[in-house]
Amino acid sequence: MAKAKVKFADVNVTVTVPVGTRIIEISEKVGSYIAYNCREGDCGQCMFAVVEGAQNLSKPSELERATLLQQYREIIDGWRSLDSAEAIAAAMKRDNLGGRECRLACQTQVFGDSVVAPL
């Protein structure tokens, strides 16, 4: 069976997995701090950042794209609701997604080598 390597950058663990394995099946077991909730692509809690190898992951479905859009909106609304420049700067620094590809761990399948991390 074809294999691929996924590195979870927050815990420094690289796992060799059968091609097609979903990120969530691995992340929970290695203790990576990718949160999750509904496991159905609906809640957006398991959003994570692809550090390297985005082209080696499954393409997002319409469902995943819609949930990601909702999550981005919520993050931006969260910044908007802060009332000081310092708080906004700190929040943007914390979850600045600029240049990072984000995906849902419950939906994304591994097809080749990649490096992933929690947001």
Q: How far is CA 44 from the centre of its chain?
A: 9
> Could you tell me the smallest distance in angstroms from the CB atom of residue 37 to other proteins?
9
Measure the CA–CA gap between 49 and 38, rounded to whole angstroms.
Answer: 19
33 binds other proteins (CB under 8 A): yes
For other proteins, the binding residue among 2, 12, 85, 98 (CB under 8 A) is: 12
Helices (H), 32-100: 62-80, 85-94
Nearer to other proteins, 52 or 101 (CB): 52
Query: What is the separation, in whole angstroms, between the first and last Cα of the chain?
Result: 31
x-or-dash string of contact with other proteins, 85-104, rule CB under 8 A: --------------------
For other proteins, the binding residue among 20, 35, 69, 76 (CB under 8 A) is: 35
**Neighbour tally for 68: CB within 10 Å:** 19
